[in-house]
Chain A
Amino acid sequence: MKDLIQPWKEGSAKNITFIVTKDCQLACKYCYLVGKNEKERMPWSVAKAAIDYVLDREKDPNFAYESVIWDFIGGEPFLEIDLIDKICDYIKTELFRRNHHWFSSFRFSFSTNGINYHSEKVQKFIEKNHSHLSVGITIDGTRRKHDLNRVYKNSEKGSYDDVVKNIPLWQSQFPSDGTKVTISSADIPYICESVLHLYDLGIHQVNINCVFEDVWKEGDDKLFDEQLMTLADKIIDGGKYVDNACSFFSENLGKPMDCKLQNGNWCGSGKMLSIDAAGNFYPCTRFAQYSLRDKEAWIIGNIHDGIDNNKLRPFLTLDRCTQSTPECIDCEVAEGCAWCQGENYDAAKTHTVFQRATAICKMHKARVRANNYYWNKLYRKLELEGKREEFEKNHPNVKPDIC
């Protein structure tokens, strides 16, 4: 299987996210953004103040990274393409004017629903900034899988047709960028057909994840296991492992973990900075109010008063074992079991980021079983074909997708 492409400058890039709008054309049924609205659009004055705040602090430990990824998120970010264009122009100009070290190492990153990808304004923006862009379009798989969840707001109309028509254009512009697929309970029966469909569309990298929320029903793990087994057979028997990657199958998965040697946090919350339309700062977008069901937003500062480092300390001291249950710590298949810090906070019994949500436990275990099957089958096939050595040489370990 082809290696998943690693995130740009992973670990050495500061991620700064602009929540440019909380509006979206879609109302996806699994969307964790519970507070989407049309009102909270980022004004230019807030965006500019946020950029100035960040760039004024080149030596600040919070921003002392070799590179920077300016991330744009919504809602649907491309609804605010005029603002985004202005922001990116300003960033480039200021990086140059200030002789900032990020001038030689920056990226603009987008995750879009793809609906207005072909529009003139978006295309003009892409043309202007192409060498600094990474763009991911979310398409969930086959029409019936995609339209099950990704429907227009105020209607049940699916968005598949409007997205899929833009895939060739996107692929031609960003051939190495992948898509993110989200799996909820109702999607399980369509996993196999959807991943294969995405490969057929020319998307070689499929990042696919189960939602972290507590949505799973009795028997979902068994269905999930079956779907992944079928998918494994199709990928291996069809030779699709050569050119494609699917994040469900990873060699670094399903082993016990050590609390001293493997105690890192899963995600980068706290090392990222998210900014909303009001100019508030968050440790990650998932801590903004529109992402939270039951908890208050975790605001760590704002464009006027700056960052309150005390509010960041819990995030920067988080480790795996402190937030995990004894069952998770002792789990024999712990490796690769993910969590979302925002969901942990939202689902916690108290006001803390140190209580790990475990709703995906049985889904992870099912994934591990199917993953073991996948690698055992693939390696046996490669051995019989005398290609295992070559495969292992050319195929570094697939890293799990981390937000």
Chain B
Amino acid sequence: MKSYLQYLVILLDDTSVAYCHADNPLKERNLIPIDTLRKAILFGMKENLMIQYVYPDYELPAEYEEVIESIDNVKIGREVQVLTEVPKFIDKDNVVLRLTISDFISKSFDIAALLPQVKRMNICIRDVENFKDEMQEDYKRALNTLCSVLANLYKSGKQPQVNILTDRLSLTEMHNCEAGIGNITIAPNGKFYLCPAFYYDEKMGLSNRMNHKTKDSSRSVGDLNNGLNIPNKQLLQLDHAPLCHICDAYHCNRCIWLNQKLTWDNNTPSHQQCVMAHLERNACRSLQLDLIKVGNLSVEPIKEINYLDPFDVKEDF
């Protein structure tokens, strides 16, 4: 099924908090002009989009808060806490942990200890490109550590969500990031981007290939005056991703920014993204079996598979 635009992400400042795979390398404050903010909200209202504000780490002027509250919204960096270190305690229901792969592996017990404190935890690996095949066992072990705690919590009646482990429990079709098709980002310059990472790249002068500086680093896909203009938009859809549409790691972010960074094509995931998503899928399967056994879950069982990268079995589909 094709995806349609549902969310508008508004970066309130160049230094707005990074909440996904890409770090925000921008250090200088550049608050979105209030007129641009108003226009962005108006765009969201007219397109019937849910607004997600992404906050910087400083207080905004009072007049901004008034405009911000003129529409129903979610505040990333405020009510959704974003952390790059594993804390001892969490005082929010909803948290994003942005960790390096090595931190996730080495601190899995500390992360597991936080699970009773949250309703939802999104774990986002900041350096997917550094995942090596030799890390598979370590990653699996770290995921299983979290699964053990989750299983006990579920059995005791608590049901915290962890994006990489519980989302897949009940999914029967792809539910990915959908940048550019399910959501779109507006930056302080009034231009649209597929997601915040593409704005960061443009500001840093990075090309489409992302490892080269180039004079043509424009990554925007329209602006508030002229509307959205996404070239090759069809390539963002699942049915135009040959590997993803045969895959059942339904919770995978299918991050198109990572795709472009690592494989140079929007619709092709890297080996790393596929393997990590499948290790998560398999850990979720174990959790699912455990929960089904004790009667805590009634969902479609996740099948056992013998591969971690659909690329290796693409001829079989």
* A residues adjacent to B (C-beta < 8 A): 296, 298, 309-311, 313-314, 316-319, 322, 348-355
Contacts and interface: CB of A to CB of B under 8 A. Distances in A.
Interface of A is mostly: loop
14 contacts: A296-B209, A310-B263, A314-B265, A319-B242, A349-B232, A350-B235, A350-B266, A351-B264, A352-B232, A352-B266, A352-B267, A354-B235, A354-B240, A354-B265
A352 B265 CA distance: 5
Interface in B274-317: 311, 314
B209 A310 contact: no
A314 B231 contact: no
A296 B232 contact: no
Given A310-B272, A318-B242, A351-B266, 16 more contacts: A296-B212, A313-B271, A314-B264, A314-B265, A317-B242, A317-B311, A319-B242, A322-B241, A322-B267, A350-B208, A350-B266, A351-B209, A352-B265, A354-B232, A355-B232, A355-B235
B84 interface: no
A317 B242 CA distance: 6
A298 B264 contact: yes
Contact of B240 (A316, A322, A351, A353): A322
Interface string B223-241: 0000000011001000011
A314 to B, nearest CB: 4
B159 interface: no
Contacts of A309: 271
B202 to A, nearest CB: 14
Given A313-B271, A317-B242, A348 B232 contact: yes
A322 B242 contact: yes
B8 interface: no
A319 B232 CA distance: 16
A319 B239 CA distance: 12
Contacts of A317: 242-243, 268, 311, 314
Contacts of B266: 350-352
Contacts of A351: 208-209, 260, 264-266
A318 B268 CA distance: 10
Contacts, number: 66
Nearest to B273: A310
A76 to B, nearest CB: 30
B18 to A, nearest CB: 23
A310 B271 contact: yes
A319 B241 CA distance: 10
Contact of A311 (B212, B214, B242, B263): B263
B262 A310 contact: yes
Contacts of B271: 309-310, 313
Nearest to A350: B232
A353 B311 contact: no
B207 interface: yes
Nearest to B274: A313
Contacts of B269: 313
Given A296-B212, A296-B214, A313 B232 contact: no
B15 interface: no
B183 interface: no
A59 to B, nearest CB: 16
A314 B263 contact: yes
A266 to B, nearest CB: 15
Contacts of A296: 207-209, 212, 214
B264 A311 contact: yes
Contact of A313 (B207, B212, B214, B268): B268
Given A296-B207, A296-B212, A313-B311, A354 B231 contact: no
A316 B241 CA distance: 12
A350 B208 CA distance: 8
A311 B262 CA distance: 7
B16 interface: no
A248 to B, nearest CB: 32
B270 interface: yes
Nearest to B239: A322
A191 B271 CA distance: 47
A352 B233 CA distance: 12
Nearest to B231: A349
A17 to B, nearest CB: 20
Contacts of A314: 263-265, 267-268
Given A296-B207, A310-B270, A317-B311, A350 B264 contact: no
Contacts of A298: 264
Contacts of A349: 231-232
A301 to B, nearest CB: 13
Contacts of B268: 313-314, 317
Contacts of B232: 348-350, 352, 354-355
A313 B242 CA distance: 10
Nearest to A294: B216
Nearest to B266: A352
A319 B242 CA distance: 8
